[in-house]
Amino acid sequence: MGLFDKLFGKKQQQETLNEGLQKTREGFFSKITKAIAGKSTIDEEVLDNLEEALVSADVGIETTVKIIDNIEKRVAKDKYLNTGELNTILKDEIRNVLISAPQDTSYTNYELPAGHKPHIVLVVGVNGVGKTTTIGKLAHNFSKAGKSVLLGAADTFRAAAVDQLTIWSERTGVPIVKKEMGSDPASVAFDTVSSGVAKNVDVILIDTAGRLHNKAHLMDELSKIKRVIQKTIPDAPHEVMLVLDGSTGQNALEQAKHFTAATDVTALTITKLDGTAKGGVVLAIANQFKIPVKFIGVGEKAEDLLVFDKQQFVDGLFPTVE
């Protein structure tokens, strides 16, 4: 098996995902087991307990209601229940939620969308969600997939962000464009894109300040970055990626609401799913926002930032043996 297969092969990704979702899976299914203990039919108590299990996994009220309603319809005629059948029904309904959500497979195996070069990604998100670390992991994985990468440290309001991205640059061997703290973020972005075009790189990843307390200021700053980038490449950025911390559950949903109102987010990355039992938030986000989830983080290693695959995610939520 080659390096590419080890990093990006479906079997390896499924194993990594299964391990990363362990806390969510164990918490969720322990509650399901209690919900149906001693029951041979799906009654109101079972449905109430199932609803509680879904909500506690941060699937969200709206998504939970949709799943419970669909289960009620499916068992209206046949009240017989065993654990295997309930797991199958739940798996089907969760899959249906994800299938109805948009998905863009352009990054499969860390490939890049065709039709332009360089591919420019503007990365946004509040401080602490793993934004800068995600950029570093993306740089590593794109490089391992054979792509040339350039980093732009446009989060100039936080010295730690520039330092952290510099460490990732050194660790991955990916060049970085940066300036002193307090520099104009748009200026850093412009220099990054200009350098990337001159060097004919495949992908440019630009970090931005993680502030949300002043939405108007955030909008102005991101708009300025876009304008200066477009002086070099008129259709850039090609992606505005919002990074959310999955371990914060419903707070991640609130952040998504604020950022999607402030700027044109085109993709989502959900991090830190391995450290929480609240991995169901991926379902809530997929159901409520018409923006594709493109990457999920399920561990500390760069290879633990996975291209999001709906089917793999559903399989990762359910025990191998039902």
Q: What is the pLDDT of residues 229-252, one digit of tens each?
A: 999 999 999 999 999 999 888 888
Determine the pLDDT at residue 114. 85
Q: What is the pLDDT of residue 322?
A: 42
How many angstroms separate the CA atoms of 271 and 106, rounded? Answer: 20
Buried b (16+ CB within 10 A) or exposed e, 88-113: ebbeebbbebbeebeeeebbeebebe
Q: Is the pTM of this model over 0.75?
A: yes
Q: What is residue 41's DSSP assignment?
A: B
Structure tokens belonging to residue 82: 């065993």
C-beta atoms surrounding 133 within 10 Å: 20
Q: Report how far apart, in Å, the C-alpha atoms of 267 and of each of 7, 18, 111, 165, 242 are.
A: 22, 23, 15, 21, 6
Q: What is the pLDDT of residues 266-316, one digit of tens each?
A: 999 999 999 888 888 888 888 888 889 999 999 999 989 999 988 888 888
Q: Phi and psi of 268, rounded to 5°?
A: -125, 140
- Give the pLDDT score at 27: 80
Nearby residues of 260 by Cβ (< 8 Å), 6 or more positions away: 242, 289, 291
Integer Cα distance of 133 and 118 in angstroms: 21
Give me the tens of pLDDT residue by residue for the chain, a chain 322 residues long. 344 444 557 788 888 888 888 888 888 777 777 777 777 777 788 888 889 888 888 888 888 999 999 888 887 776 666 666 777 888 888 888 888 877 766 788 888 988 899 999 999 998 889 999 999 999 999 999 999 999 999 999 888 889 999 999 999 999 999 998 889 999 999 999 999 999 999 999 999 987 765 667 777 888 899 999 999 999 999 999 999 999 888 888 888 888 888 788 999 999 999 988 888 888 888 888 888 999 999 999 998 999 998 888 888 888 664 4
Alpha helices in 21-158 (DSSP H): 22-36, 44-56, 61-74, 83-100, 131-144
* Six-digit token string for 93: 């309904």
